[in-house]
Amino acid sequence: MDKKTCLYDKHVALGALMSPFGGFIMPIQYSNITDEHQAVRNHCGVFDVSHMGEVRITGPDAERYVNHIFTNDVTDAPTGQIYYGMMLYPNGGTVDDLLVYKMGADDFFLVINAANIDKDVAWMEEHKAGFDITLDHQSDTYGQLAVQGPEAEDVVETVLGLKVSDLKFYTAKTIPAGGEELIVSRTGYTGEDGFEIYGSHTYIIEAWDALLSSNRCKPCGLGCRDTLRFEVGLPLYGDELSADISPVMAGLSMFCKLDKAEFIGKEALVQQKAEGVSQKLVGIELADKAIPRHGYTVLHDGQPVGSVTTGYHCISVDKSVCMALVDTHVAKLGTALQVQIRKKVFDGTVVKKKFYEKHYKK
């Protein structure tokens, strides 16, 4: 049985196309994916991302524990700083990718993917022995909105009355509102400037209504969330990262601090860096308009060399492109590859995974 977010009734009332995603029944689109995508690139869109999971880690060993399960380095992190990284299996495969918010001394807020909540929480519980921490699973406590786009700062300040202009990219702060403490961060998953707001279900419903009735902000579904993140080369767990895909294979080594004393999976990554990996994530641009989709076979001189992880006809640049996991010997920029799309084979070229430039406000 799929769960519902606190905004489920709002989505249904708006006539959204609803579909299961990550254990939740979520809005895919309200009007159409292209219009919602363009609203975020050019103006402002709001997403219900209440399906995301939240875990709070507190206690004297909180920093040491987070450093143990997380690839990035939170040592002596300033309060409000946010880190992107992964939790790994000992073999280097990915448990999940996540954001870690440093909320205060001995206090971290972890944001995990909806589809992985049960698995992640079990993983965290399993690895807390020997650490003096409290692990509080708060996914049912928080609703979450993502307000994204070049006008997001003004919309959040004027419509919601939250002072966010002082927030730098990848930082967070708490803001009191209606008797509760919101967590607000300058983050997102679209390649545009924007904010993510964590609050009670009551607050999230009020904020959603205020944003929509302001007419400053278009409701946006998970359909365009995927096209937006894809264009700027951001990975999605299940496509570009998985138990079989390490961050080294996915080109995300910069978020794995191998100079850290230890973390689960470190030895495997050190070995992968030293010996190389058999497959790597690449971008492929097709000459034709045909659309490469997840799972389609990638060929080199007629031989299968990998498969597509995500592909679209890219909305912002009007090209058919994909990310694909391919054998390392054909992963060099400029290599001619082909993608099998149903019965036909289409020519493509290895390009950078970023198909459209990010527009973060740093």
Stretch that binds other proteins, among 131-139, 204-212, 259-267, 284-292 (CB under 8 A): 284-292
- Contact flag: residue 293 with other proteins (CB under 8 A): yes
Candidates 104, 57, 99; CA nearest to 77 is 104
Per CB under 8 A, the segment of 75-83, 84-92, 138-146, 308-316 that binds other proteins is 308-316
In the Cβ-directed half-sphere of 335, how many Cα atoms lie within 13 Å? 21
Q: Which is nearer to other proteins, 20 or 276 (CB)?
A: 20
Closer CB to other proteins, residue 34 or residue 349?
34
How far is 174 from 165, CA to CA, in rounded Å? Answer: 14
- If one asks whether residue 220 binds other proteins (CB under 8 A), the answer comes out as no
Q: For residues 71-110, which are near other proteins according to CB under 8 A?
A: none
Q: How far is the CB of 231 from other proteins (least distance, A)?
A: 12
**95's tokens:** 């448990």
- Looking at the DSSP assignment, which residues form a beta bridge with residue 194? 148
# residues near other proteins by CB under 8 A: 19
Please say which residue, 84 or 296, places its beta carbon nearer to other proteins.
296
Whole-number Cα distances in Å, 198 to 10, 37, 132, 335: 18, 23, 26, 44
The angle subtended at Cα 47 by Cα 43 and Cα 53, nearest 5°, is 145
Running DSSP on this structure, what letter comes out for residue 71?
S
Nearest residue (CB) to other proteins, 197 versus 315: 315
Q: How far is the CB of 343 from other proteins (least distance, A)?
A: 9
Query: Which residue from 4, 201, 300, 313 is in contact with other proteins, where contact means CB under 8 A?
Result: 313
> Contact letters (x/-) for other proteins, 228-247, by CB under 8 A?
--------------------
Give the number of residues written for the chain: 362
Nearer to other proteins, 102 or 229 (CB): 229
Site for other proteins in 319-348 (CB under 8 A): 320, 341-342, 344
- Check binding of 315 to other proteins (CB under 8 A): yes
Instruction: Please tell me whether residue 34 binds other proteins under the rule CB under 8 A.
Output: yes
**Nearer Cβ to other proteins (38/349):** 38
> Residues 253, 241: contact at Cβ < 8 Å?
no
Please identify, using beta-carbon distances, which residue of 248 and 291 lies nearer to other proteins: 291
- The CA-CA-CA angle for residues 114, 115, 119, to 5°, reads 105
Outline where DSSP puts E strands in the chain.
Answer: 17-21, 24-29, 45-48, 53-58, 82-88, 94-104, 107-112, 134-137, 143-148, 172-177, 180-185, 194-199, 218-220, 279-286, 297-300, 303-314, 319-327, 336-341, 344-351
Among 41, 179, 54, 196, which Cα is nearest to 111's?
Answer: 54
Show contacts with other proteins in window 172-201 (CB under 8 A).
Answer: none
Those residues with Cβ within 8 angstroms of residue 318's Cβ, 6 or more apart along the chain or in another chain:
none
What is the pattern of x (binds other proteins, CB under 8 A) and - over residues 4-33?
------------------------xx--xx
Q: Is 39 in the site for other proteins (CB under 8 A)?
A: no
Interface contacts to other proteins, rule CB under 8 A: 28-29, 32-34, 223, 226-227, 289-291, 293, 312-313, 315, 320, 341-342, 344
